[in-house]
Amino acid sequence: MKETKPQLQNPISQPPAPISILVTGGAGFIGSNFIHYMIKAHPNYIIINLDKLTYAGNLENLKDINRMDAGFKEQDLVGGGFENKIQNLKHQIQYPISDIQQSTRYHFVKGDIANTELVDYIFERFKPNYVVNFAAESHVDRSIENPKIFLETNVIGTQVLLDVAKKHWLASGKWKEGVKFVQISTDEVYGSLGPQGYFTEKTPLDPHSPYSASKAAADLITKAYFDTFDMPINITRCSNNYGPYQFPEKLIPLMINNALHHKKIPVYGDGKQIRDWLYVEDHCRAIDLVMQKGRIGEVYNIGGHNEMENIQIVNKICSILDELYPISKNPTSNMQHPTLKSYKQLISFVADRPGHDRRYGIDATKIHEELGWQPLVDFDEGIKKTVEWYLNNQEWMDRVTSGEYMKYYERMYSWR
Ligand code: NAD
Ligand code: TYD
């Protein structure tokens, strides 16, 4: 009689089944923070980062990721067998930083979310369970200068991702188990508030800038895939984020960078516009919760009830810098501005942004009640950590502000 060996079963030593997430725009500010967060929070997750590396995408934001390898091999996830088929796409797949390439939990693909063939290839090869779509042109001032690219990436790019996901996730009228498309949107789609009230998920969309209009369009096409095809989706709408790795065209890092170089700190209009600021890691945790537990088809607002006028933020940054890196210790200052005593002296009110939204304020009751989310980092702690991060990473700032950035800066601020 043939003996059958008993199967060894040791559930403790079995790693959980890998789950793969296609993160788009993962080399940008929030996307790179999200990848750091997810790699730490979920040892069984594999991340594929598809990013075009525009001026806002920086692989340096992810350079330490390969040290967090849980030991999955690519074969655990990849069926294989289509290498030949995609030979002609090979030239589009680049792994510019070798240490990132080594990680089996993290894969970088350089490319455009609007490239159907490439996105299709990624789905074939990595079989993602989730798509989290951060990729976007994200800066209001740039959208005023050149709206077209905002429609190409934010609207068409989102539609391409939705369509390819549908192709791979829907078979014989049934959606695969455990898949979801998470569209990362913004509170700016709701338009501008007066002094009272908050944006809820039911507030009608009323975007004003080409950026927010393109994000609203992306939300609507995402919702249309749910309404029409039952596609498992969520949309998140978050308030303004701050934290490490934010490109210095946005308020907080721009002000820090200018202050450190003793350049004018340009406050638009009267500086009394209000934004509702959230530390980026709190946003990442909220996205993770929505991805795993959000009710299919729902929109979730994310915000920390932390409304502040721009001028208050700028004053706070200057006070922190005065404390952590006083003018007297900043060697370049005395030569340029011998009378400078505080960074606040650099504040300068400049021409306003056209169509400037006055106030954003998020009501995040729904995500709190349904998913138990609330922000953990209060603003005083978060802004101090953030200023410290930029002080400790001045080389990062110098690198991202060289070259093209200087031309942009001239275009945006020379006339103000
Ligand atoms: P970001 O500009 O820092 O990063 C965007 C990333 O997308 C970059 O890495 C860029 O290279 C990439 N990208 C651009 N076009 C692409 C394309 N066609 N294909 C592939 N990659 C492309 O933006 P962010 O501040 O990190 O914002 C990320 C997302 O979060 C955006 O969708 C934005 O609308 C949303 N959001 C941002 C904030 C905020 O305060 N920054 C608040 C709420 C929502
Ligand atoms: P920004 O960081 O561009 O985010 P958003 O416009 O998406 O909210 O701007 C935040 C606020 O800061 C907004 O009211 C515009 C203002 N702002 C300035 O006053 N000066 C600046 O140089 C920048 C970039 C922004």
Name the token pair of 340: 């400078």
Is residue 393 domain-resident?
no
Residue 319 in domain: no
| Ligand 1 atom with the shortest distance to the CA of 32 | 26
Atom of ligand 2 nearest to the CA of 249: 24
Residue 211 appears among annotated catalytic residues: yes
Give pLDDT, residue 331: 72
Strand (E) or helix (H) holding 233: strand 233-238
Helix axes 310-324, 379-392, angle to 10 degrees: 60
Residue 277's Cβ-count burial label (10 Å; 0-12, 13-18, 19+) is buried
In order along its 416 residues, the chain shows pLDDT tens digits of 444 444 444 445 555 678 999 999 999 999 999 999 999 999 889 899 999 999 999 988 988 775 444 444 444 444 433 343 344 444 344 433 333 344 578 888 889 999 999 999 999 988 999 999 999 999 999 999 999 999 999 999 999 999 999 999 999 999 999 999 999 999 999 999 999 999 999 999 999 999 999 999 999 999 999 999 999 999 999 999 999 999 999 999 999 999 999 999 999 999 999 999 999 999 999 999 999 999 999 999 999 999 999 999 999 999 999 999 999 888 765 556 778 899 999 999 999 999 999 999 999 999 999 999 999 999 999 999 999 999 999 999 998 998 777 777 788 888 88
* CA dihedral of residues 370, 132, 29, 56 (deg, nearest 10): -150
**Domain presence at residue 201:** yes
- For the Cβ of 291 lying below 6 angstroms from any atom of ligand 1, the answer is no
Question: Residue 365 falls within a domain, yes or no?
Answer: yes
What is the domain-level CATH number for residue 41? 3.40.50.720
Which runs of E-coded beta strand occur in 336-383?
347-350
Task: Note if 408 is an active site residue.
Answer: no
**Please, what is the Cα angle at 140 between 216 and 146, to 5 degrees?**
95
Domain-embedded: residue 287: yes
Q: Is 69 exposed, middle or buried (0-12, 13-18, 19+ CB in 10 A)?
A: middle
- CB atoms under 10 Å from CB of 230, counted, come to 14
H or E element in which residue 143 lies: helix 140-145
Q: What's the pLDDT at 9? A: 47
How many domains does the chain contain in total?
1
- Report if residue 8 sits inside a domain: no
CB 225, CB 233: distance < 8 Å? yes
Ligand nearest to the CA of 57: 1
Structural domain boundaries, residue 237: 17-246+280-306+358-378
Q: Indicate whether 325 belongs to any domain.
A: no
Tokens at residue 111, please?
A: 């490319």
Nearest bound ligand to CA 133?
A: 1
In a domain, 91, yes or no: yes
